[in-house]
């Protein structure tokens, strides 16, 4: 039986994947630093080394909230063994390619199959840098067809213009929430990709709380 989680406060672990230099860090910084804001003139971030972390709490209909714990991964091959270790504990995957770089689009199925494994998290395909119209190398129709083939939504974004950045992350959070309601994903304590965040007003007094085991991830 499906359970409604709309009134709970949840934590969703999200991993952002894709080739190097497709703009994963720019998207994350736009989403966490300029929520709902206009275009920004922030400097281009340098290459990610290993994994970097961001977070932001968003509203989830009808009345709940979700804290997104966002993992920014390095796209370079030499860091692949590090980033792979994070796949199994993610509830959602933002799969990013550069609309001006056809090779990054052609690598999407490889990233997808690598991240899906035997436990399928929620996915959203993101075509980034849509503001660079004259340099575009992948059509919206082609990218949309690939997304449909892989069973995921497709969103075109621009961190430079702050276009659809909010939509991409909200769409992924909605996909996680839907999988949660269908029982495909379930919240667990410890290192898994979805956790319930305790309501502080209902916590036991400090002296009566049981000690928690430390997460070994």
Q: What is the pLDDT of residue 82?
A: 62
Closest Cα to residue 122, out of 66, 76, 47? 66
**Any idea which of 60-64, 78-82, 94-98, 168-172 has the lowest mean pLDDT?**
78-82
Cα angle 126, 132, 133; round to 5: 100
Q: Which tens digits make up the pLDDT trace of 97-134?
A: 999 999 999 999 999 998 887 667 899 999 999 999 99
Q: Could you give the domains of the chain? A: 9-208 (3.40.50.300)
How far apart CA 192 and CA 187 sit, in angstroms, is 8
Beta bridge partners of 60: 64
The answer to whether the beta carbons of residues 168 and 197 sit under 8 Å apart is no
Q: What is the pLDDT of residue 100?
A: 98
Q: What is the pLDDT of residue 95?
A: 96
For the whole model, what pTM was predicted? Answer: 0.80
Q: Which residues of 113-143 are buried (b: 16+ CB within 10 A; e: fewer)?
A: eebeeeeebbbbbbbbbbbeeeebebeeeeb
Q: What is the pLDDT of residue 206?
A: 36
Confidence band (pLDDT; 50, 70, 90) for 60?
confident
Beta bridge partners of 54: 70
Q: What are phi and psi of 145, to 5 degrees?
A: -65, -40
Confidence band (pLDDT; 50, 70, 90) for 64?
confident
């Amino acid at each position: 039986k499906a359970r409604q989680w709309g009134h709970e406060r949840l934590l969703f672990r999200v991993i952002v994947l894709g080739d190097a230099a497709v703009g994963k860090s720019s998207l994350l910084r736009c989403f966490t630093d300029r929520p709902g804001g206009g275009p920004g003139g922030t400097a281009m971030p340098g290459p990610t080394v290993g994994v970097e972390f961001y977070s932001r709490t968003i509203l989830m209909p009808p009345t709940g909230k979700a804290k997104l714990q966002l993992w920014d991964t390095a796209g370079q091959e030499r860091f692949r063994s590090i980033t792979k270790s994070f796949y199994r504990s993610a509830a959602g995957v933002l799969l990013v390619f550069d609309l001006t770089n056809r090779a990054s689009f052609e690598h999407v199925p490889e990233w997808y199959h690598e991240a899906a494994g035997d436990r399928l998290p929620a996915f959203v395909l993101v075509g980034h840098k849509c503001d660079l119209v004259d340099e575009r190398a992948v059509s919206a129709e082609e990218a949309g067809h690939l997304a449909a083939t892989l069973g995921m939504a497709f969103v075109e974004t621009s961190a430079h213009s702050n276009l659809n950045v909010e939509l991409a992350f909200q769409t992924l959070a909605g996909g996680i929430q839907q999988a949660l309601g269908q029982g495909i994903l379930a919240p667990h304590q410890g290192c898994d990709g979805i956790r319930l965040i305790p309501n502080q007003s209902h916590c036991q007094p400090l002296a009566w709380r049981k000690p928690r085991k430390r997460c070994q991830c």
